[in-house]
Amino acid sequence: MSAEHHPAVVGFLDHLEASNKASTAATYGSYLGWYERWLAEQGIDLLQATAATVAAYQQHLANVYRKLDGSALARSTQGTLIVVVRTLYAWLHRRNIILFNPAASITPAQGPKALTVAKDHLSLDEAVALIGTLSDLVTEARPQSVAWALAVRNLSAVSLALATGRRCGGLIGLRVADIDVQRAEVRVAWEKGKTGRVLPVAAWAMELVAHYIREARPLILNGRASDALFPTIHAPAMTHGAFVYLLEQAVAATIQRNPDLTALAAKRISTHSLRVTFATVMFANGCGIRSLNELLLHADLNTTAMYTPIPLEDLRRVLIACHPRA
């Protein structure tokens, strides 16, 4: 962990990494950096903070801090920043590093309760166009070149994301050993700190991945050793930033090549949008919410419900079909 962090924060983040929560550690490290910089400005050591200190930080986030565009932080962001501070102090208190938890009585700010996942996602036509664009880029590259191999990798990664609904961290964390081509299955050994399971993969996506592993991946590695399913030409495994970049480029190319998809240009498509797209398409085509819960590896069925809002017209049809007086 960064030497810029307080030793207590370093210990906390190391604990998260040791618990197979590397992505959480990276996110918490960034958020705690905000708190540490504010403490430094106040001349307060992290271990000497009181309840009044944490309350003052909460007021700072709500009333003083402004983003680059001059706007205030969303209440949900304010709440997340305080939750991370509470989690840090709770961990320090459990290990008797501090005598009391100064954040225990602080209530994080909460934004409006969302009934759905607030993420733009692809329609079925847009998802098909995205895969088609990535396929065209493969065709346009010189066969068996590094550019061709990278295009095949990008097509395979996006296809696997759309076909399985994997989180970005789970997708880029896959190893070749996790792919069972013969059974068309993927083994999700660990995701978001929880053990996973074996999940089925659509045949079309598995055929692309099998072709990628056999023909393109060796060209990308160029003799280097790596267990990761999706390496880069510079690193043994693709990073989150690399996947974000390739998706942004793929969406931009799709918009350019499909001017009829006017709605796509106005959407903000992220890596999580692919997961929401998977859930939306599956649910719209008759997948039961309990099955979808298992496919998404959600711990709570209520979380899955947020991914699958039922359109008003569907509710209207059910009412007409089922209500004796409709």
Predicted local confidence at residue 141, as pLDDT: 95
Q: How does strand 185-187 pair with strand 194-195?
A: unpaired
Predicted local confidence at residue 113, as pLDDT: 55
Count of CB atoms within 10 A of residue 243's CB? 21
Helix spans in the chain (H): 7-18, 22-42, 51-63, 75-94, 124-140, 146-164, 168-172, 203-211, 217-221, 240-257, 271-284, 289-296, 301-307, 312-322
Only one residue has tokens 């905000």, namely 34
In order of 29, 100, 285, 311, 322, the CA distances from 319 in angstroms are 50, 55, 19, 13, 5
Q: Is 326 in contact with 319 (CB distance < 8 Å)?
A: yes
Going by pLDDT thresholds of 50, 70 and 90, the confidence category of residue 111 is low
Kindly report which listed range (17-21, 54-58, 314-318) carries the lowest average pLDDT score. 314-318
Predicted local confidence at residue 2, as pLDDT: 47
Q: Is 286 in contact with 314 (CB distance < 8 Å)?
A: no
pLDDT single digits (tens) 265-276: 999 899 999 999
Kindly report which listed range (17-26, 118-127, 146-155, 185-194) carries the lowest average pLDDT score. 185-194
How far apart are alpha carbons 180 and 184 in whole angstroms? Answer: 6
* Strand, coil or helix: 184: coil
How far apart are alpha carbons 208 and 205 in whole angstroms? Answer: 5
Residue 323 has pLDDT above 50, yes or no: yes
In order of 30, 210, 266, the CA distances from 220 in angstroms are 32, 15, 34
Predicted local confidence at residue 102, as pLDDT: 95
How far apart are alpha carbons 86 and 170 in whole angstroms? Answer: 27
Q: What percent of the chain has pLDDT over 70?
A: 90
* Strand, coil or helix: 222: coil
